[in-house]
Structure 1
Amino acid sequence: MIDAYAGRALRRLRLRWVVAASVSVVVTALAYDQFVDRFATDLARRWLALSAVVLVYEFALLWRFLPRNRAGEELSPSLGPATLLTVVRGVLVAFLAGFLLLPRPTESLVWLPAALYGLAALLDYVDGTIARLTDHVTTLGARLDVEIDALGILIAPLLAVIYGQLPVWYLLAGAARYIFVAGKWHRRRTGKAIHDLPAGPASRILAGVQMAFLAVVLSPLLTPPEATSLGVAVLVPFLANFLRDWWHLTGRLPR
């Protein structure tokens, strides 16, 4: 009976995945039409190509994580409003990625990259709040949230470096989480101990500060000298938190 229920729930989740993916395709097509009107066709195609690659990656992650849509032991057949908001965040981050292959927007579109990432960062706060209010906090939602956060913090600094707003060394912000995950995978593969990380809000707060800073630095509000100085103040504690977590994970620091 339990297996049959889980099977039905998973089929319903996959149907919802198809609906979400289809809506995202339609929204992307509409956005592409707008880009064709604003940019040359070849530039719009570049934007579409990279945005589509990122979208495929995000929806592949969502498909992979569907069996984790659990608040307890039972698989939930509904993604829930919070996870759907996280999917929307993923679409915004994918649209931002498309700008990596374009010249920096000017005139009326100069604020668009900052607006895309700023809205994604704002929804990062909203989706967690909604998950708690609706009592639909799932392993799937938590994992997808982390993946979208990491992808945004990878893409936004790269775009800021391309725009000349930040120096190349700021790419460490985007690489930090992936280096951490690779190190954890290597320890597990080689049979080394992996210790639990301490609970606390520090990581979420620092990630929120990082996203807010990146949204501002993608806008015309900051010029490179001021952006670099402020970037140092934001990046150092962000990287220090990853180093602290690594020391906890490897047992160098007690919980």
Structure 2
Amino acid sequence: MSDAGLVGLLRLPKGLLGDRGDRSVNLRFALVCILLMPGVLALGAALTGSFMGAATGLVTFTIMAVVAGLALKAQYQHDRLGIANIVTLLRTAIIAALAAPLTQPGLLAMEEALAWTVLGVAVFSLCLDGVDGYFARRQKLTSDFGARFDMEVDSIFALLLAVLAMQSGKAGLWILLLGGMRYAFLAAGLLLPWLDRPLPERFSRKAICVIQIAVLIGLLAPIISGPLSWALAASGTLLLTYSFGRDVVWLARHRA
């Protein structure tokens, strides 16, 4: 959780603009992005029925793809793009399209069928998480870039879901804490450098991340509302707070 996120992805080495030699990986990455763009537009339009929604999804995807592409060029050490990165790009496209309903606050609360559709799309994206890791290991293409790319997509996914839940009236403004706690942690690391240090691997941290996203997806369900939605959101927030709090305590005890 102490990774520098998008900021870290942009810490590019001095040789970034130099001659890399084989640029096929970068070109394939760009080609996959271009091929996914019509799908992002179509899904965004289907979820909102508006040009603004479709355009918002496309802009979101473009920004995410450009940042990831720069990181790929700077940090990726393999000579093949691999299925894993393609799957993560597909997840990026799906998640970016989910930004489309943000242009019409309250739309999911008014359109029950649409809320179920968005929930289904979100569940599909969550199911794809882990598939990329499987293919990376199978093709022997694991990399720090791939792990960071997957993590950043998950973080943006959580934040988008939290905003959708807030707009749907499933919880108050505080639900953004459940979706954006990692970004708050990263911001704190800019002020307190000892927070921006590597953390020991913990399975519980990954499990809580999955629970976090599952809770946010569950809040989209029309059948979950009122006190139940608030209780579910509060439980997820408390669990995530515990996870981050434990990491902060560990970092405080081990700072130089």
With structure 1 as the length reference, what TM-score do the two structures score?
Answer: 0.83
CA 1:34–1:150 in structure 2 vs 1: closer, same or farther (change >3 Å)? closer
Deviation at 1:107, TM superposition (A): 5.2
Q: State the distance in 2 between where 1:85 and 1:19 align.
A: 14
2:157 corresponds to which of 132, 149, 152: 152
- What is aligned with 1:17? 29
Deviation at 1:162, TM superposition (A): 0.4
Q: State the distance in 2 between where 1:209 and 1:15 align.
A: 36
- What is aligned with 2:125? 120
SS of residue paired to 1:7: coil
With structure 2 as the length reference, what TM-score do the two structures score?
Answer: 0.83
Q: State the distance in 1 between where 2:253 and 2:153 align.
A: 29
- What is aligned with 2:3? none
Give the number of equivalent residue pairs.
235
For the Cα contact (< 8 Å) 1:48–1:98, is it kept in 2? yes
Q: State the distance in 1 between where 2:227 and 2:169 align.
A: 10
For the Cα contact (< 8 Å) 1:13–1:79, is it kept in 2? yes
Aligned counterparts, 1:230-249, within 5 A:
230-249=232-251
Supply the AA of the counterpart residue of 2:253: R
Residue 52 (str. 1) matches residue 64 (str. 2) = no
Deviation at 1:252, TM superposition (A): 2.6
Supply the AA of the counterpart residue of 2:21: R
Q: State the distance in 2 between where 1:234 and 1:144 align.
A: 24
- What is aligned with 2:87? 85
Q: State the distance in 2 between where 1:47 and 1:209 align.
A: 28
CA 1:98–1:32 in structure 2 vs 1: closer, same or farther (change >3 Å)? closer
Residue 206 (str. 1) matches residue 218 (str. 2) = no
Q: State the distance in 1 between where 2:223 and 2:84 align.
A: 31
Structure 1 range deviating more: 195-204 or 147-156: 195-204
Q: CA RMSD in A?
A: 2.3
For the Cα contact (< 8 Å) 1:113–1:219, is it kept in 2? no
Q: Structure 1, residues 187-208: CA drift from partner, whole Å, max 9, x if none? A: 34xxx58543121112110010
Residue 162 (str. 1) matches residue 164 (str. 2) = no
Residue 136 (str. 1) matches residue 138 (str. 2) = no
CA 1:193–1:152 in structure 2 vs 1: closer, same or farther (change >3 Å)? closer
Structure 1 range deviating more: 131-140 or 148-157: 131-140
SS of residue paired to 2:98: helix
For the Cα contact (< 8 Å) 2:112–2:222, is it kept in 1? no
Structure 1 range deviating more: 84-93 or 122-131: 122-131
CA 1:68–1:242 in structure 2 vs 1: closer, same or farther (change >3 Å)? farther
Deviation at 1:173, TM superposition (A): 1.3
Deviation at 1:183, TM superposition (A): 2.0
Uncovered stretches (5+) of structure 1, i.e. residues with no partner: none
Q: State the distance in 1 between where 2:93 and 2:42 align.
A: 13
For the Cα contact (< 8 Å) 1:95–1:116, is it kept in 2? no
For the Cα contact (< 8 Å) 2:41–2:55, is it kept in 1? no
Supply the AA of the counterpart residue of 2:20: G
- What is aligned with 1:8? 21
For the Cα contact (< 8 Å) 1:68–1:140, is it kept in 2? no
Deviation at 1:109, TM superposition (A): 2.7
Q: State the distance in 2 between where 1:174 and 1:123 align.
A: 19
Q: State the distance in 1 between where 2:197 and 2:137 align.
A: 27
Uncovered stretches (5+) of structure 2, i.e. residues with no partner: 1-14
For the Cα contact (< 8 Å) 1:166–1:228, is it kept in 2? yes
CA 1:178–1:107 in structure 2 vs 1: closer, same or farther (change >3 Å)? closer
For the Cα contact (< 8 Å) 2:44–2:57, is it kept in 1? no
